[in-house]
Structure 1
Amino acid sequence: MQKIKKMQQQEYSKMFDLAQYAFQFENSAEYQKRFHYLAEHSINYGSFEGDDLASQVMLTPFDVNFFQKTHKMGGVGFVSSDPSFRGGGRIDAIMKELLKDCYEQGILFSYLAPFSYPFYRRYGYELLFERSSYRISHQDWPRVASPKGKVLRKDWQEAKASIAKIYAATMTQEEGCLLRETWWYEYKYQMKPGNYFALYYDEEAQVQGYLVYQMKAGVFTIVEWVYLTEAAYRGLHKYIASHADSVQEFFYERSANGQTPFFLNERPISQLSSRPDMMVKIVDIEAFLKVYPFEYLQTSFAIEIEEDSYSPWNTGIFEIHVQSNREVVIQKVVETSLPLMKTSIQRFTQLFLGYKSLEELVFYRFLVLEPGLENAISAIFPKKRPILEDYF
């Protein structure tokens, strides 16, 4: 008989064994230590058949930035099942309990990296992030003029404070990114083998940018490239170019937001590709609407979420009332006389978090709007696409 419980440290080895079997990553003491470290910072759901771990889901608490505010997010990872026990609805049962826990704990968002987009849509998740990949021959890496500052390679202990400071100064101006905690930096960089770190110092010896990279089998992989100034951009760009005689290819993948670090190049980058990345679920629509920036809203209206079977509190009609003092009041109702937008939880997420425009979703009939409502509410939606530079 199956039983769901939250697993503790004594079950971490079982968790690792199941995850390693499911994802076929390296089975080593180093990987096991990193996995256990993540489990220590997570809530770990397991479905058991007697003493056997049949299925598991890891939920890691994070903070994310949306609308220049910090919100709680639950990162879902290592969703895995032993094939001996598949077919019993175990992941469904875990996800139902996990989402209910998130709702009760005030966790507003949940992110995950899907093995199947259709599979996770059933739980109310939808694609929100994309990634752009650049492959550049060592002969074709663009040349830039050298700035007056310098780039120095550092070990993790020397680099970590500067990396955290610069990341916070840049990514917190974006939508959707993680507000990284100290433990996550250790997991992401220090505990992952093969990372090198380089810092750009300006003429006053102030760190203005950083580079995290790897070199393996003739490929220079840019893990993260962040800069506060144009000089820091050029300095790190030049530093990367200095490895052209040591490698055959440069590879850089970053969150796709319509921008590129190569737009100043004389020749466009020829090998550029994009791929879908992580999905997002808004756990609590009513709580989300209460923190959403409606300052440009001129007209009261209502939104109907057609169905969210794994988060039934999201199904229904939500009225957004603009008061005479410009305050916005959110109310869940059984029926409404206000102009109505009707959509799914998935398309609501893409619209209100900036991945898709109102016009596009209306065109493809993913939204049903009453006449005149599109023009009345078009100004309230984000114009900036969300980005994410982390994976779990």
Structure 2
Amino acid sequence: MNELRTLHRDELADSFALSEFAFQYELKEEDRNEQIGRTDENQVWGYFADGKLAAKLQLIPLHIWVNGRRFAMGGIGGVATWPEYRRGGMVARLLGQSLKTMRDRGQTVSLLSPFKFEFYRKYGWEAFVDQLHYEIPVDKLPKFEAAEGSTVRRAAKDGKLLNAIYAEYAKQFNGMIDRDEAWWTTNTLRKKGTAAIYANPQGEPRGYVYYHVSNRVATLHELVFLDEEARRGLWKFIADHDSMIAKVEVKAPVDDQLPFLTQDPRFKQERVPYFSARIVDVEAFLKQYAFAVDAEAEPIQLQVTDKHADWNQGTYRLEFTASGEPAAVTKLGEGEVQEDGMLSCTIQTLAALLMGYQRAGFMARIGRLQGSQEQVNRLEAAIPQRTPYLTDFF
């Protein structure tokens, strides 16, 4: 007998054993017990075959920023199947259930870290964010001067303290998590490291670096700055570690311009695809989404195809109100659809567009967005140009 359901508390140990096997790591007993203790069994879905846990995934309730607005998001993590049960469609069943559960909970968007992008594309998730990975030898670090009267001081690993800066920084990007105190404690600040806060000459905190030095490598877990002055002050602080490091490793958003600001930009730079996104509930997502055009813009009619969430299938009419505000969204009935002047795309394409990862013109050129050039241009103008970025992992 097969069964799909949330786990009972006494089944969490089996879930962690599956994760350790599938992802090839081993927890110490005290660490395993700690993680079991803070895991909500109601967020872990399992597929049971003949009473045994065969496959599972965890839903992680979070919020992310999209165009400066806060969206309820369902993170998906820990997707795993025992080898003897693989290729039996169990993960597909779990993902289908997760979509229904997230929709019921009002989570209009979902993020996950794919082991293979092509696998999750089959179920509606699409790549939405890349990271730049820098590896900078100490002799090529930027040579900045800090503003007179500014300071960089080591600080306690205190989520409340750092979040005052992080929250303002995160809103600038699409996909950043709106962290609460628990997330800072159990996720971000679990990494070994030191925090240092930059304050401008007026004494206002405007940036921080959270980093760790080991074997002459400075790993910057997070480098957060709210203005150019804070960026320069923090890099001056990092460069002052030159007697104890050989290089710095740091990640940055894809529009970062640090190489141009250095005297010699010939250091290792790699663009790495990171996470995938999926729109769980198109109508609810669109009703929250801030567009970049005002009420004078012509309405858009958009047909969406979604093979794994039938509630998303259909045609939506977007009537714009004011720049930076959501549109009036109507899901049209069969007799209301105007075939002429309509755009159409899959749920994956819609996620890539609305999360700011790809432009409408490009998606039309490669055949993933159908419609007249005029309609494509209209959609491209309506979507804000905002960089996708994510510093967290789950």
TM-score by length of 1: 0.91
User: Are the counterparts in 1 of residues 69 and 289 from structure 2 also a CA contact under 8 Å?
Assistant: no
SS of the aligned residue for 1:170 comes to helix
AA aligned opposite 2:138? H
Q: Which runs of structure 2 are paired with 1:338-377 in the superposition (5 Å)?
A: 339-370=341-372, 372-377=374-379
User: How far is 1:322 from its partner?
Assistant: 6.0
User: Are the counterparts in 2 of residues 109 and 282 from structure 1 also a CA contact under 8 Å?
Assistant: yes
- Where does residue 169 of structure 1 map in the other structure? 168
Which of the numbers 272, 277, 285 marks the counterpart of 1:275?
A: 272
Q: What is the CA–CA distance in structure 2 between the aligned matches of 1:138 and 1:46, rounded to whole Å?
A: 48
User: How far is 1:371 from its partner?
Assistant: 5.6
Matched, 1:20 2:20: yes
SS of the aligned residue for 2:212 comes to strand
SS of the aligned residue for 1:97 comes to helix
SS of the aligned residue for 1:123 comes to coil
Which of the numbers 222, 237, 260 marks the counterpart of 1:224?
A: 222
Q: What is the CA–CA distance in structure 1 between the aligned matches of 2:154 and 2:390, rounded to whole Å?
A: 25
For residues 22-59 of structure 1, give each alpha carbon's deviation from its aligned partner in whole angstroms, at most 9, with x where no partner exists.
Answer: 11124224642564366239711111224422111011
User: How far is 1:286 from its partner?
Assistant: 1.4
AA aligned opposite 2:155? K
Q: Which runs of structure 2 are paired with 1:111-260 in the superposition (5 Å)?
A: 111-147=111-147, 148-156=149-157, 159-192=158-191, 194-256=192-254, 258-260=255-257
Q: What is the CA–CA distance in structure 1 between the aligned matches of 2:114 and 2:182, rounded to whole Å?
A: 24
Q: How has the CA–CA distance of structure 1 residues 228 and 313 changed in structure 2, closer, same or farther, with 3 Å as cutoff?
A: same
- Where does residue 60 of structure 1 map in the other structure? 60
Q: How has the CA–CA distance of structure 1 residues 160 and 293 changed in structure 2, closer, same or farther, with 3 Å as cutoff?
A: closer
Which of the numbers 316, 323, 340 marks the counterpart of 2:314?
A: 316
Q: How has the CA–CA distance of structure 1 residues 197 and 2 changed in structure 2, closer, same or farther, with 3 Å as cutoff?
A: same
Q: What is the CA–CA distance in structure 1 between the aligned matches of 2:41 and 2:199, rounded to whole Å?
A: 34
AA aligned opposite 1:153? R
SS of the aligned residue for 2:119 comes to helix
Please give the root-mean-square deviation of Cα atoms over the aligned residues, in Å.
2.3
For residues 72-122 of structure 1, give each alpha carbon's deviation from its aligned partner in whole angstroms, at most 9, with x where no partner exists.
Answer: 100001101111222321111111111011112211000000001111011
- The percentage of counterpart residues that share the same residue type is 26
Out of 288-297 and 159-168, give the one that drifted further.
Answer: 288-297
Q: How has the CA–CA distance of structure 1 residues 188 and 271 changed in structure 2, closer, same or farther, with 3 Å as cutoff?
A: same
AA aligned opposite 1:223? H
User: Are the counterparts in 2 of residues 149 and 231 from structure 1 also a CA contact under 8 Å?
Assistant: no
- Where does residue 389 of structure 1 map in the other structure? 391
AA aligned opposite 1:162? L
For residues 118-150 of structure 1, give each alpha carbon's deviation from its aligned partner in whole angstroms, at most 9, with x where no partner exists.
Answer: 110111000000010001112322222133322
Q: What is the CA–CA distance in structure 1 between the aligned matches of 2:241 and 2:360, rounded to whole Å?
A: 45
Q: What is the CA–CA distance in structure 1 between the aligned matches of 2:204 and 2:328, rounded to whole Å?
A: 44
User: How far is 1:238 from its partner?
Assistant: 1.7
> For structure 1, which runs of at least 5 residues remain unmatched after alignment?
none
User: How far is 1:214 from its partner?
Assistant: 1.7
User: How far is 1:234 from its partner?
Assistant: 2.4
Q: Which runs of structure 2 are paired with 1:328-347 in the superposition (5 Å)?
A: 328-334=328-334, 336-337=337-338, 339-347=341-349
- Where does residue 75 of structure 2 map in the other structure? 75
AA aligned opposite 1:155? A
For residues 288-309 of structure 1, give each alpha carbon's deviation from its aligned partner in whole angstroms, at most 9, with x where no partner exists.
Answer: 2222334436223321123x22
AA aligned opposite 1:278? F
Q: What is the CA–CA distance in structure 1 between the aligned matches of 2:299 and 2:205, rounded to whole Å?
A: 48
AA aligned opposite 2:24? Q
For residues 337-358 of structure 1, give each alpha carbon's deviation from its aligned partner in whole angstroms, at most 9, with x where no partner exists.
Answer: 1511111111111112211111
AA aligned opposite 1:245? S
AA aligned opposite 1:277? Y
TM-score by length of 2: 0.90
Q: How has the CA–CA distance of structure 1 residues 25 and 255 changed in structure 2, closer, same or farther, with 3 Å as cutoff?
A: farther
Q: Which runs of structure 2 are paired with 1:91-106 in the superposition (5 Å)?
A: 91-106=91-106
Q: What is the CA–CA distance in structure 2 between the aligned matches of 1:277 and 1:352, rounded to whole Å?
A: 17
- Where does residue 261 of structure 1 map in the other structure? 258
Q: How has the CA–CA distance of structure 1 residues 239 and 372 changed in structure 2, closer, same or farther, with 3 Å as cutoff?
A: closer
